[in-house]
Structure 1
Amino acid sequence: MSASDCPLTKMPDVLRAALECADDGIVIVDDARRITYFNAGAERIWKLAPADVLGGDAAILTLKCLQADPVVDFRDEISLIRRDGSRIKATIALSSTTIDGTVNHIIFARDVTAEAERRVRIGLLNAVSDQTNRAVIIADVEHNIRYVNSAFTALFGYTSEEAEGRPAAELIAGCHTNRRAIAKLVKRLMAGGRRGEVETLVYDKSGEEIWVCARLDAFRDNKGRLRHIFALVEDITESRQLRSLQQLIMSALADEVPITEIADRLCRRVEEIAPDVVCSLLHVDAAGLVHPLGGPSLPEDYSSALDGIAIGPDVGSCGTAAFYGEPVLAEDLDTDPRWQPYKAMPLATGLRACWSTPVKAKDGRVIATFAFYYRESRAPSNWHRRIVDACVDLAAFAIERKEARAEIARLAYHDILTGLPNRAQLRHLITTAIDACPTGSHVALAFLDVDHFKDVNDTLGHAAGDELLIQLAQRLREQIGPEDMLGRLGGDEFVILLPHRNAESAEQVATRITEALAAPLRLGSKLMPMSASIGISLYPDHATDIDTLMQQADAAMYMAKQAGRSTHCMFNAEMNGLTEQRLAMIAALRRAIAEGALSLFYQPQIRSCDGAVHGVEALARWHDAVLGDVSPAKFIPLAEECGLIEQIGLWSVREACRQMAAWRRAGLNIPSVSVNLSPINFRNVTLAARLQDVLTEHDLPPDALMLEITEGTFMQDGAAALETMHAIRALGIGLSVDDFGTGYSSLSRLAHLPIRELKIDRSFMRDIEKDAGALAIATAVVRVGQGLRLTVVAEGVETEGQRKMLAELGCDVVQGYVYAPALAPVAFERWLIEHCAEQARAMLGQLEVKPAVAVKRSA
């Protein structure tokens, strides 16, 4: 077929030229399926020359739409396979027309391979965009949204149809959105500047606040012209804003910031992330009175007016929330009946609503309220509720920690048993009294020691001894004046500070005390006679410095004991001979150590879970041929004063290990022995090596030895002591913190110490069954131990009720009179055999009961 046969030969030249210049491929096929026209565009698409196709069969085009019979109109995008095997994407449009009575099929073809690939890439980008949890926004240069991903819809609630075409600011910005920062960043991008990010509040479709971090960048064409602005929006409500509150509180607590400053910082930070609220934190004391802790945006006179108000069922939002222990919302202060007596001040400052939430301690007590005030009548948003959920926990943690530290500080300066000032506080009080003493006046100092106190402990137990000391303190308080001060040094020793008292006046006080103690005390069902020996020294007549004054009062007290007890003595120069007696006692102690006259008694430690022996504590005892039984409360401080304490500690370790080895050879199964060491022992860098030598000598494994240390060990000379402690733990020897809870150490520091065990001080045991405070402290120590995976041992357990309560708390081990006092080795062996027999009988009894139960069930 020639070109003259083509229908287009009858068309004007202009039309033919236009078809030849068209980008699309144009092919004409007659009714016999022969190609009659093939333009330049078709050459490019099929990669065929006109000479190769004109007049030829249309099958060469590989178009299935031409194979139908009859041929029908067709329009679609297809995958076109060319004669050389290559493949392209093409849109094909086929239509049929009749020219001069002849049917012709006109095919329009366009190569859309690049466009199809671009669509695939866009589809992939959309799929990736929809997979991210960050919202994607693409806007044009007029700031109208052109694209959002599915994360945008999930975060803000708008579908892509609702968002596209609308200005971004109209959609998600609100009254507290930082429009200035966003506009500044957009302006910088439009001027060709670098990308950046901004943190701000935005709002979802329902009007709820969302804190986001928006990272903005620009899309430009090949000529560098700005075409679109891209925003990657991340919800930072949880990850940054709420965590910033936690970081703020934790860092403030770590820096020992006062609780009022912590509350102030918390409120200020909350008001930054929730600009439409005014924040307040009130403390609720044990008496149910509120005290402002933080409220920097509240008027000062309003906060002051709240101080001391008692909580109740109709005391505003905060007082009511604290009273019921539930959140309270007052959407309109002017009409809310609970606010009528209190509404004037907040209304005058433009505050219209208040939402208060109680802050509770772990035991359920309401210890504070956290409140949001609003300048309009409204309820809290979801964002506000999330803030409060975080803040009430943080506030509870901060307040409880500060209360605990205050209690620890109080314990550091007050005796736990009697509540009196302890040795550290007494020194401060005496120094203050001496500094304030005017010329010509005096300060008297009286040392009081209970006569035969050891007999009470030995015969009636430590609980009776503690009760005696408590009643004694009460009687002493009744006999001194309002300016006088009473304190307890420790054990059965008390100090009475008598400002503005001369010798005669001080002796009158001592006489009254002696007479008041003449009446016996009632300890349970027993009447216990009581007396005390009192020594008095006088400032400035006897000494002008506190240490000498205390030594002289102590010397006078010993003189009163030698005078027959139940009396008092005023210091005089002749009493300096008492120093010689103390030197004689020191010499006797040195001989006792050298000659092996000291001995160790052993008190069992019993596991709460099954009653098995956990270990024993070795306790030093001294019986002197002249002095008789000398209490450890006497000779241990004396040994510390004269530098013998380190020798006693090492002797105790050697003797305890010797006894453990002997018991093990005899077949007595005692897991470990605990030995008390002084902080001075831990200053010796060779301690670990010496301990290893002792264990090797007696062929004992390291875990057979537990060393008990006080908190003072790692508070004084901390670095050196800690190095020694690590060396000891590296050997496998256990370390136990003795008397835990009576010191003033940091819990965060405790977590990094190489210890294996905590011992609850016996002073907490006495009232654990009836005193919520003692129970709370014991519970706290057990929880600390559990949290740090330490064994917790309670010492001084004397009743079955105490033992059961400790077992319920999860205390691992108990030690005390409820099982046995400290016993000599032979006596302890008898006790151990009886205890093991009792355990066996109990186990046998359980085995005998089980079959009977089984029979009953089967019946």
Structure 2
Amino acid sequence: MAGQPDTFELFTDLTEALASACSVVCAAVIVKGECSPSHLVGDEDAAKLLLTLESVQATLEDGIPRTEMPPFNAPLAAAAFIAVEPLSVPYQKAPAPVIAFAGDHLADRDRAVALLHSLTAETGNELMRLRQSPFLAAALAEIECGVTIADPSLEDTPLIYVNAAFERMTGYPKADLLGRNCRFLQGNLTDQPGLRIIRNALSRGMDCTTVVTNYRSNGEPFENRVKLRTLRSNDGALSYIIGIQLDVTREHAALDSLARQKHRYESLIETQSGYIWLMSAEGELMEVPEKWLELAGLPSSGGQPDLAAIRDALPPDAAQAFKEGWVEALRNTTPFQVIYQLPARSDSPRWFLDRVTPVLDDENGLLEWIAASQDITDLKTAEKEVERAAYEDRLTGLLSPEGFAQHLDERLREGDLHPASPVVVVDIKALREINNTQGYDVGDEVLREVARRLRTEIGEHGLIARTGGDEFTVLAPLDCQRTRRRLRECMAAVFDVPFQIRGFAFHVDASFGYARIRSSAGDARKLMTDAALAMHQSQHNPSATWTQYTKALEHQTRETVNLTTKLRRALETDQLELHYQPQVDLVSGGIVSAEALLRWNHPQVGFIAPDQFIPLAEQSQLIGPIGDWVLRQACRDLRAWRDGGLPVTPVSINLSLIEFQLGSIPDKIRHALAEFDLPPGMLTLEITESVFEQHSQALRQDLETLSAMGVRLSLDDFGTGYSSLGHLNDYFFDEIKIDKSFIFQLDEGPYSQAIVKAVAVIAAALGADVVAEGLELVSQVATVRQLGCTKGQGYHFSRPVTESCWRQLLIDQNAFA
């Protein structure tokens, strides 16, 4: 800064920034010899008390930072720590003041100290710019570009969104990425130059672009070009950190090769060249290569070179570069070089590198100048290919995410787009299944055909990019001919006609999400991000093919990510519990088995209902590790009951369709039984009939393997939508559980009673037990027993109880007789 900074504003900035960034009880700037703080925030009595601390006075004397625990029975007693830091203020002539602050959380200390030193080193104008920086928009949702969003308002700045490309790039599924800080991808490489750039930029609230080395899930390193943008709310608080992440391992190798090639050309120029120029010591042309004149479209010099004609043959920027280079060279007797194209106005020019070098005598006196013109067109073409690869999708020929964002930003700056024009993200459903069943070649043909159809429907005034493995992003300008309704029709038309590829004919469905231009504040990457967010909502809502981005949708997504993060921590910090509900023999009243039911006991909000977090676990793929926990905890409890000499009954656990899709269910069951030394008959697996929605040979093989192991299989919620008698014929079940909806309607008419009776007859024919769920009334118990049910479960007997209560029920086996 040109002038001296205003220390009053500086101290104000420091205390306010500290209070905003960290949870502090109080903070105060203290100057040696003064009886009260010059600036303070937070609890005034606590701040004044800081002045009396020995550590504060000691730091004022020796300038050494200190940290101490707060005193008891004082306004500072509620704090977790007290830190004292000297302030090195530019142009400060008086003794250096200190800033002392008391924080609520010890984990905030290092971050607060780093913030203080960063802000102190800045000048007044830079601080003002930091404080007043506008709400920044940022980039998301890219093809082959990973996109991440981190929330600094949450503990440890976790990821709250990653796109599919980032999953592919790192090899980690979303379940292993969301809720974690990106630093785990760096392994032990925690002191890379790129990371220092990132830390410095984020500490200053600035954007940055750099390259860091990350590791994929399989341990393979890759070079990641990270482009970070910070978003701030209206009050200036940092609200999001957006990351555009691109695997540039191959590009770096290519650029290294290009750099080596360039150095080779430069070496060739120094040793020999086809085109040699000679100039006098004063820079006047003496000899011009005839071949060069021919390429430039100029006549032979025939003697004195025509300097004006040569200048006119060059592109204007090259002519200016030569002029400026000669001025500096003649002044300091130094070489220079210029790159230009020839002919200047050709559609396919040749590229040249001219290096002008002084010729010196033995006493370093200037004799003349020599220039070598080297054709570097293999080099320029390669550079253009690298640039093209960055902005074009190789498979479809469409724009890449970077190319789409660049073109869209240009269109937004021109201001000729209707404000209601949408950016649409299209996701092809079941592309993975097409690849797995028909082969990746067929899947690639599908992508190319979708690209062709999109070009036809959108036309030359739109923009189309492939922004993910199965995602396309489209700018579809609205005008008087293309209304919103017409746009939806033409986009849907892309998928209305069956795809005929290599002898296969099949329909392809898609999910659509869109954001209107007026919602983006003129930022292409925010539009792409918002549209992708809306598309993900369509993916998880079968009834909504099209979803529009709204602020409410963004808030809902943030809440979902926040709950997902809490659920991950619940799994890591033993907040999950198993409660047990008995199954009772309807004749004897004795307990014959128990169903293990998952409960989440959050330390702040208490029990969270399963219907709130189980669907979330399935969407985020946390259901896999949660299912593993349930299996091992149920086996652990069974082992403990047996070791305690209790009359143990079998325990049933629930398996979801997603757990079967993740694979290895029989292996997991086998390992758990072996670990806790349990016989297979002590474990029952309850499988809802929704698994038959994905009826497959793999599912059948898994169930047959489990049955052969001796594990009991129970068909849960029978009659609710997917079941058929054919499934009962295809798969063996030891038990069929009648859905409670039929039990609730037993007194309303004969239909439900007929269903219960039919299931009991079918179960008997198959050699399976039949269980009536949801029994609450004595009359219901009597009715289902008359209809042939052998077992019952419901609140009439017992609600799900904790493990300790279940032990007591095991002791009194005939509690329900």
Task: Tell me if TM exceeds 0.5.
Answer: no
TM-score of the pair, normalised by structure 2: 0.33
TM-score of the pair, normalised by structure 1: 0.32
Pick the structure with greater CA Rg. 1
Q: Which has the higher contact order (CA 8 A, sep 6+)?
A: 2
